[in-house]
A = this chain, B = another copy of it.
């Protein structure tokens, strides 16, 4: 798939975009609540990692609650968009959708979000979510979002 095979290299207009994203992540109390950790940050690219523990479980024993995966994916999508906007602009999520592909298990989950199309009004980004189980990784969710500049 052309688009999938050739991720774009976006240019951040804000030279301090890494500090911007890190500051927004640190200010986000919901990320702290679930124990999420900011990973790699690039122009239009954000990774969030989640060390999995009992508190993330769904009603099915050993299976992470899908909404928790949605929460890190949604956040990574928003921060990926935020990395490309001017310093004086803020961004919020207009909508997101997520397909849960497999039960997430193991000791960690992580998501990588990348901007598909940046814009002055709207930005579209997509994300994958993986779990990590004994050194192996499995794709457990895929998400797509529309972000709006404020």
Q: Footprint of B on A, CB under 8 Å?
A: 1-5, 7, 23-25, 27-34, 45, 54-61, 64-68, 70-72, 74-75, 78, 90, 92-103, 112, 114, 116-117, 121-122, 124, 126, 128, 130, 137, 139, 142, 144, 146, 148
Task: Contact check, B59 vs A67: say whether CB atoms are below 8 A apart.
Answer: no
A56 to B94, CA, bound (A): 18
Task: Contact check, B122 vs A148: say whether CB atoms are below 8 A apart.
Answer: yes
State the majority secondary structure of interface residues on A: mixed
Q: How many copies does the complex hold?
A: 4
A30 to B34, CA, bound (A): 9
Question: Which of B30, B93, B128, B144 meets A4, CB within 8 Å?
Answer: B128
Of A29, A54, A67, A90, most buried by chain B (CB within 10 Å of CB) is A67
Question: Which of B55, B96, B99 meets A33, CB within 8 Å?
Answer: B55
A117 to B94, CA, bound (A): 12
